[in-house]
């Protein structure tokens, strides 16, 4: 599918979706007009970008501890894919999951509180950055293990198939997971059992610190996934409309009982692998070239040229994103830590109780 075709399809289709921005944490019907829908996508990407930038400041100020993996540069993938999903669908993520959670509709306040390790966090402060979880939004967690979410996603999809639920389970993972046995086992079983599974590989070219070309003899990941007998194709992961159109096409086909589908979203993280990473393995010139394809600007610029976005509206979107993130920071600062009395809750069984 070409980018132009994907953009055209992205304007024409209208599945139910979730959003961030001004509608954080609430299911929202997708706008029926193309300009309104594009504004919604832009709003969602801005919230994720500003959230992640604020996390950099908070981490540097030791407000956030542990490992933090930022999603800056990859916003189009989370927003585009989630725009194609329905409320009853499930999402399984990776340790770079802030953007996935926010695009899914997990409230900004709940995600930020989890970053702080507070009891009001979406995982009650138990998980932190790498283990966001919200069953209410059918967001079944980040996972600190590379490829660890893939078998879980297959299990969710199998359960839906056995119960005759017309749902899609979407599993995000990186190109590094493609080298793990869990991917190949999951892909084989999903194709063999025709599971309603959407596999979304966020190929940012480096896994952790090793380039794709130095790790894989065959770098066409979509072609390799197709060898398992599932439809698979590549999409421009810096173009939110192209991602959405590809995800809509895949999700509709999965709902029609065609079995699993694979999308390779070619994207790029503008920041290092994690906050601990000195990022010495990527040429600075390469990073700057990819920044020229910033997904937020890639959507905003054509909207401006077509008259669907002016300076006043852009300033308001920026202000809304800023306000949502700052409110989340204030809430997290004021939120309580888990009571000491609850430290063993969900860890051990009380004496005399039945497991």
Tens-place pLDDT, residues 188-236: 999 999 999 999 999 999 999 999 999 899 999 999 999 999 999 999 9
For the stretch 142-185, pLDDT in tens is: 999 999 999 999 999 999 999 999 999 999 999 999 999 999 99
Other CB atoms within a 10 A radius of the CB of residue 25 amount to 20
Residue 5 is predicted with a pLDDT of 36
Mean pLDDT computed over 327-351:
88
d(CA 307, CA 303): 6
Mean pLDDT computed over 76-102:
98
- Does pLDDT of 23 surpass 70? no
Residue 26 is predicted with a pLDDT of 31
Three-class DSSP category at 125 = coil
As a whole number, the mean pLDDT across the chain is 90
Contacts of 275 (CB under 8 A, 6+ apart): 56, 59, 67, 68, 69, 70
Mean pLDDT computed over 254-281:
95
* Residues 273/275/277/280 CA torsion (nearest 10 deg): 80
Q: Report how far apart, in Å, the C-alpha atoms of 200 and of each of 173, 235, 304 are.
A: 6, 10, 30
Residue 340 is predicted with a pLDDT of 87
Q: Residue 355: which pLDDT band, with cuts at 50, 70 and 90? A: low
Structure pTM?
Answer: 0.89
Residue 344 is predicted with a pLDDT of 82
- Does pLDDT of 21 surpass 50? no
For the stretch 91-109, pLDDT in tens is: 999 999 999 999 999 999 9
């Amino acid at each position: 599918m070409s980018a132009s075709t994907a953009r055209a399809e992205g304007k024409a289709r209208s599945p139910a979706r979730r959003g961030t921005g001004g509608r954080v944490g609430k299911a929202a019907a997708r706008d029926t007009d193309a300009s309104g829908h594009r504004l919604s996508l832009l709003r969602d990407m801005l919230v994720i970008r500003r959230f992640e930038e604020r996390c950099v400041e908070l981490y540097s100020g030791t407000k956030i501890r542990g490992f933090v993996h930022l999603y800056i540069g990859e916003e189009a993938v989370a927003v585009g894919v989630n725009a194609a999903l329905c409320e009853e669908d499930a999402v399984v993520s990776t340790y770079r999951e802030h953007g996935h959670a926010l695009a899914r509709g997990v409230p900004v306040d709940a995600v930020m509180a989890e970053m702080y390790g507070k009891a009001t966090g979406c995982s009650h402060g138990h998980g932190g950055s790498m283990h966001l979880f919200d069953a209410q939004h059918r967001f079944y967690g980040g996972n600190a293990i590379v490829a660890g979410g893939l078998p879980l996603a297959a299990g969710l999809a199998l359960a839906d198939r056995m119960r005759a639920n017309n749902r899609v389970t979407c599993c995000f993972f990186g190109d590094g997971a493609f080298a793990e046995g869990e991917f190949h086992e999951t892909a084989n079983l999903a194709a063999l059992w025709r599971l309603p599974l959407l596999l979304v590989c966020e190929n940012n070219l480096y896994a952790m610190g090793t380039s794709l070309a130095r790790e894989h003899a065959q770098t066409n990941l979509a072609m390799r996934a197709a060898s398992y007998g599932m439809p698979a194709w590549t999409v421009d992961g810096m173009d939110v409309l192209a991602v959405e159109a590809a995800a809509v096409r895949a999700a509709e086909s999965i709902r029609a009982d065609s079995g699993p589908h694979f999308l390779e979203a070619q994207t790029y993280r503008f920041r290092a692998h994690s906050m601990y990473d000195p990022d010495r393995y990527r040429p600075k010139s390469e990073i700057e070239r990819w920044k020229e394809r910033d997904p937020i600007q890639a959507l905003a610029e054509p909207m401006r040229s077509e008259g669907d976005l002016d300076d006043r509206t852009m300033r308001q979107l920026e202000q809304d994103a800023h306000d949502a993130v700052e409110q989340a920071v204030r809430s997290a600062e004021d939120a309580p830590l888990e009571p000491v009395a609850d430290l063993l809750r969900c860890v051990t069984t009380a004496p005399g109780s039945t497991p």
